[in-house]
Structure 1
Amino acid sequence: MINSPGQHICLDDLLSRQTSDQHPFELLSSLCEGAIAVDADCRIIWMSPKYRQLINIPEDKELIGTPIEELLPTTQLPRVLKSGKPTFVDLMQINRRWCVVTRMPLKDHDGTVMGAIGFIFYTELESLGPLFDKFARLKRQLEQQKLIRPSRYALDDLIGQSSVVQQLKRQARRAALLDTTVLLLGETGTGKELLAQGIHHASPRNGGPFVGINMAALPESLVEAELFGAAPGAYTGIEKGGRKGKVQLANGGTLFLDEIAEMPLAMQAKLLRVLQEREVEALGSNSLEQVDVRVIAATSKNLKQLVDEGEFRADLYYRLNVLPIRLAPLRDRKEDIPLLCQHMLESIQKQAQIPALELTDSARQWLYQYSWPGNVRELHNRLERGCVMAEGSAIEPEDLGAFDDLPTSETCITSFSPQLRAPSLSLSEIRLRTDKIALEQALEKTGGNKSKTAKLLGISRATLYERLKKCQANK
């Protein structure tokens, strides 16, 4: 039976239903397009005939006892087996065909995981078209009724309990009350667009549109039409009624100009008119259009320096720099990392429909000691990578890419020590000496502190002592 609320299949109950002429798994496989089951060691214990046909396995080929990953390298059954948690309605490509699959752990009455089973419910995704269409209609309905907020953020979505984040939220709330231009300053990946949307939603303009545009992603030839619109006949291929620009689309709401430093000088004068006169002139038009728009600009560059170098208009800079708000880099608010990780992991796992994964202690240590040049965006990307690469129920430092930037054996041979360039060294000897050099450098950097050394290397203290012992024994 499937235990409420559908978290696993009770193996004892299933086996009790076995008849003399029918395998118990066939009772379940008859309801789907194919099924496969593995034991606690992730070895195949059963496969339905339909599944064999799908993966082109002859009926007479013996598969019992074969490790599942030898047959299906991309299978997620080992993860279900290790985590003890199911994955519902996932997509998997088998022999170049996309299939809708469900995977569930097999447990005994004591809750011990005895194996796992995977079901294929659909091999023709076209048959799911009406279901996808219905979901899309319901989503549009909810958006129109404003019951959900698509791709929008409030200030409460800014995750963190550090004093830096709390001060940032206070500044943003005060800025939201004033209907004036805001300039967001901060490194790439610090969350400037999230904060801009939060300010918009906390302002009296929250009933109006929020329109964002990344100036760095726009070719210079398209900037004017994209920002300020184009009149009918302004260029070949334009719509009969002309084209509205982002400024006109944001009328009554907020215009977010990301990477404002990348705006061409010629367009900066037109933006200045929007800010000062609240009017815009479309490309190819001789008339001015009144607009009611609040501008929030953002940059990761030093605008004042660009002004001094003649790369940015001074009058526009001072018009933008009315309410400057600086976002701190992640390395300056590392106490927020645990909360950010919790929030991001829940989001990633929900979106990807994978079992919940936790961070090991060594992974948390590495996250805390890392310098985060890519800030919060990089943290999200590394956690997403960890969820994909983790093979068990926990994410290790290597799953996060902790050792990607460590020197290879070849680098160590050529750069670290002349002793490693000896042609008679075996691969194991090279690895051992490379480990020794890395350990010595880390110990020197931390003043011999073992705990700090382990954190610096992204390993546990037990692993550190084990490697030190091995290096000592092979002196």
Structure 2
Amino acid sequence: MGLSAADLDENGLKIGISPEHFRAVAMPLLFDHLNAQCEGTVAVNRQARIVWMSDKYASKIGLADGHSALGREIEDVLPASRLREVVDSGEPSLLDLMPFGDEHFVVTRIPLRADDGQVVGALGFVLFDRARHLKPLMEKYGRLQARLAETERALLQARRARYTIANFIGTSAVATEIKRQARRAAQLDATVLLRGETGTGKELLAQGIHNLSARANGPFVAVNMAAVPDNLVEAELFGTAPGAFTGADRKARLGKFELANGGTLFLDEIGDLSLPLQVKLLRVLQEQQVEPLGSNQVRPLDVRVIAATHVDLEARVAEGSFRADLFYRLNVLALRVPSLRERREDIGALVEALLDDIAARSGQRPLELADDALALLAAQPWPGNVRQLRNLLERAQLSADSGPLDAAALAALLGTAGAVLAMPVAAARAGAAPDASLGARPDAGQDAIRAATPDARPGEGVVPLADALAHAERVALRAALQACGGNRRLAASRLGISRAGLYAKLQQHGITR
């Protein structure tokens, strides 16, 4: 098909023009346009010496004309120029800010190539001689930077420890002592091992130690080893290289050790870690460096580890399920967190603080407990410790109607064991004989509770709490043994205490059968 006159223009650009012809025609047009629109143009050769400079550029930088710059190295004329880098790398620099005196030029730089593709020089254009021309772009960039900074702050805040040692509520001797030990541990940068039953507040103390330490401004990262599947623990702790395994993210994934860098890593339920991973954890603790899964590069770390467990690690070491060398490495500063049974005198303060927190979270008025309800709580075995106490109070908050909650209502939430323990507390407050609450009728305990309410017997003397608690414990022990047919192992399990603890209490109360 032939071409008509409409297929041509005054510059010779026709439909179907060859690439070579197009380049020969278009490049001069492009250069002339850029040179006319820009604030200045400069070209350098392979040695980064100036081979051409527009008079506009020369005037802008204080030269008489462009000819006076010829042959000089680009840095002699423009100290901040990066044209030499473009020549050496062959890569363009499409948008940049170049300082010159008190001003900043917005520039673009492109390599110049010969027909064989070899870089023979570079060309630089001053797009604007004032950065204000980029104001819309800079404002958008600033907004994105601010959003990124806000996200980073939120992420950092999420990794901050919320609690202090003061949040471990209690003034009993054992509570005071564990807080003293925690404050001492905070001043040292050694590994800490927190030991104690579940629900005693080990993570709270770990956060308190972190917040009082020199690492307080760093992240606090917590990992519950029992909650992570065995096949994911290594990736969770140490991170992964890109595509480390089938289904892995194409990007590298940071592990908890690297996320805690500069701060504290809390490893809860450390006794559940498998033997192969115990070896890797020991190496990280000793070398203070981590090697992500699927990578052959090690990365330095600055992390303090606080571990916690409710199991007997010495027994695990003896049976071969926990490495002795890792145990020694973790057991540098060992703190035993007391159970709630060991600090019953703190229950009143704990109940008050927990009820306030529950009310604040639920938006309801704080629940009030009657004196007999508090005495009942103090008599419980609390196998779940403070966590179990909080759970009970949350249920009580939801079920309460109005007025103080008494022991009878609380016993219903506690179940059979709570009702058994409620009997001696109510009987003692009612002035009954020591074992009067063990009547034959199933509802005798509830009758005693109702009879023991403050309005039932006004003016009667108050039984010392220690006596009431001792009596409650004695009756609970006898009731458990009777319910279990004398099987002490089963009775100890039902009461939520160890068999050795049961024997000690039986001896303390003189119960021989």
Q: TM-score range by the shorter chain?
A: 0.5 to 0.7
Aligned to 2:219: 209
2:364 to 343, 351, 354: 354
Residues 151, 249 of structure 1: alpha-carbon distance in 2 compared, 3 angstrom cutoff: closer
How many residues were matched structurally?
Answer: 297
2:159 touches 2:220 (CA, 8 Å); kept in 1? no
What residue in structure 2 maps to residue 463 of structure 1?
Answer: 451
CA distance in 2 between counterparts of 1:345 and 1:187 reads 23
1:448 to 414, 433, 438: 433
1:243 corresponds to 2:253: yes
The match for 2:403 among 371, 379, 393 is: 393
Change (3 A) 1:169 1:349: same
CA distance in 1, matches of 2:167, 2:198: 18
Q: Distance in 2 between matches of 1:148 and 1:288?
A: 27
CA distance in 1, matches of 2:299, 2:447: 62
CA contact (8 A) 1:363 1:458 kept: no
CA–CA distance in structure 2, aligned partners of residues 303 and 147 of structure 1: 33
Closer, same or farther in 2 for the Cα pair 1:402/1:188, shift >3 Å? Answer: farther
* Residue of structure 2 equivalent to 1:298: 308
3-state SS of the aligned residue for 1:175?
helix
| 1:340 is the counterpart of 2:350 | yes
Q: Which runs of 5+ in 2 are unaligned?
A: 1-146, 457-513
- Find the partner of 1:265 among 275, 285, 289: 275
Partner of 2:337: 327
Distance 1:280 1:148, change over 3 A: closer
Q: Please name the residue that 1:283 is paired with.
A: 293
Residue 301 and residue 157 in structure 1: after superposition, are their counterparts in 2 closer, same or farther (change >3 A)?
same
- CA distance in structure 1 between the partners assigned to 2:152 and 2:260 by the alignment: 22
Preserved CA contact (<8 Å) 2:407 2:449: no
- Distance between the aligned counterparts of 2:250 and 2:156, measured in 1? 32
Cα deviation code 1:406-449 (max 9, x no counterpart): 28xxxxxxxxxxxxxxxxxxxxxxxxxx99xx89xx99xx9932
AA in 2 matched with 1:164: V
Q: Which residue of 1 aligns with 2:179?
A: 169
In structure 2, C-alpha distance between the alignment counterparts of 1:335 and 1:251, rounded to whole Å: 40
SS of match in other structure, 2:365: coil
Task: Report the Cα distance in structure 2 between the residues aligned to 1:209 and 1:280, rounded to whole angstroms.
Answer: 17
The answer to whether the 8 Å contact 1:142/1:148 transfers is: no
- C-alpha root-mean-square deviation of aligned residues, in Å? 3.5
Q: 1:451 to 1:166 in 2, by over 3 A?
A: farther
For 2:231, the aligned partner's letter is S
The Cα of 1:274 is off from its aligned counterpart by 1.2
Structure 1 residues 264 and 361, CA, compared in 2 at 3 Å: closer, same or farther?
same
Deviations 1:137-194 (A, max 9, x none): 9xx7997599999761011111111111111111001111111100000000000000
Bigger shift: 390-399 or 197-206?
A: 390-399
1:113-262 residue pairs with structure 2 within 5 A?
152-262=162-272
Query: Is the contact made by 1:362 and 1:459 (CA closer than 8 Å) also made in structure 2?
Result: no
In structure 2, distance between residues paired with 1:142 and 1:314: 40
Q: Which secondary structure state, in structure 1, belongs to the residue aligned with residue 322 of structure 2?
A: coil
One of 315, 318, 327 as aligned partner of 1:317: 327
Classify the secondary structure of the residue corresponding to 1:333: helix
The 3 A distance-change label for structure 1 pair 458 and 359 is farther
Cα distance in 2, alignment partners of residues 299 and 376 from structure 1 = 16
Mapped partners of 2:337, 2:272: distance in 1: 19
One-letter code aligned to 1:317: F
Q: Does 1:375 align with 2:393?
A: no
Letter of the 2:451 partner, please give it. T
The 1:240–1:142 alpha-carbon spacing in structure 2 relative to 1, beyond 3 Å, is closer
Distance 1:232-1:459 versus aligned 2 partners, 3 A rule: farther
Q: How many percent identity over aligned positions?
A: 50
Displacement after TM superposition at 1:281 (Å): 1.1
Deviations 1:250-275 (CA, angstroms, capped at 9, x unpaired): 11000000000000111111110111
Cα 1:357–1:184, aligned 2, differ >3 Å: closer, same or farther? Answer: same
Asked whether the 8 Å contact 2:161–2:220 carries over to 1, the reply is: no
Q: Could you tell me how far apart the structure 2 residues matched to 1:451 and 1:328 are?
A: 33
Q: Does the 8 A contact of 2:240 with 2:253 survive in 1?
A: yes
For the Cα contact (< 8 Å) 2:156–2:219, is it kept in 1? no
d(CA) in 2 for partners of 1:296 and 1:385? Answer: 32
SS of aligned partner of 2:231: helix
| One-letter amino acid of the structure 2 residue matched with residue 360 of structure 1 | A
Report what 1:4 is aligned to: none
Q: TM-score, normalised by structure 1?
A: 0.57
**Residues 180-214 of structure 1: CA deviation (Å, up to 9, x unaligned):** 10000000000000000000001000010000000
Distance of aligned partners of 1:372 and 1:205 in 2 relative to their CA distance in 1, 3 Å threshold: same
| Closer/same/farther in 2, CA of residues 149 and 319 from structure 1, 3 Å limit | closer
The one-letter amino acid of 2:344's match is: K
Give CA deviations for 1:378-409 in whole Å, capped at 9, x if unaligned.
111111111001111222335445565328xx
Q: CA–CA distance in 2 between the matches of 1:309 and 1:447?
A: 51
SS of residue in 1 equivalent to 2:185: helix
SS at match of 2:416: coil
Residues of 2 paired with 1:395 and 1:239: CA distance?
A: 53
Following superposition, the deviation at residue 238 of structure 1 comes to 2.6
1:143/1:340 CA distance change after superposition, 3 Å:
farther
In the alignment, is the contact (CA less than 8 A) between 1:180 and 1:322 conserved in 2? yes
Q: What CA distance in whole angstroms lies between the structure 1 residues aligned with 2:172 and 2:446?
A: 24
1:326-372: per-residue Cα shift (whole Å, max 9, x none)? 00000110110111111111110111011232101221111011111
What whole-Å deviation, never above 9, does each CA across 1:314-333 have from its counterpart, x for those lacking one? 10000000000000000110
Note closer, same or farther for the CA distance 1:259–1:396 as it changes in structure 2 (3 Å cut). Answer: same
Change (3 A) 1:362 1:339: same
* In 2: Cα distance, 1:281 partner to 1:308 partner: 30
**Structure 1 unaligned runs (5+)?**
1-136, 408-433, 467-475
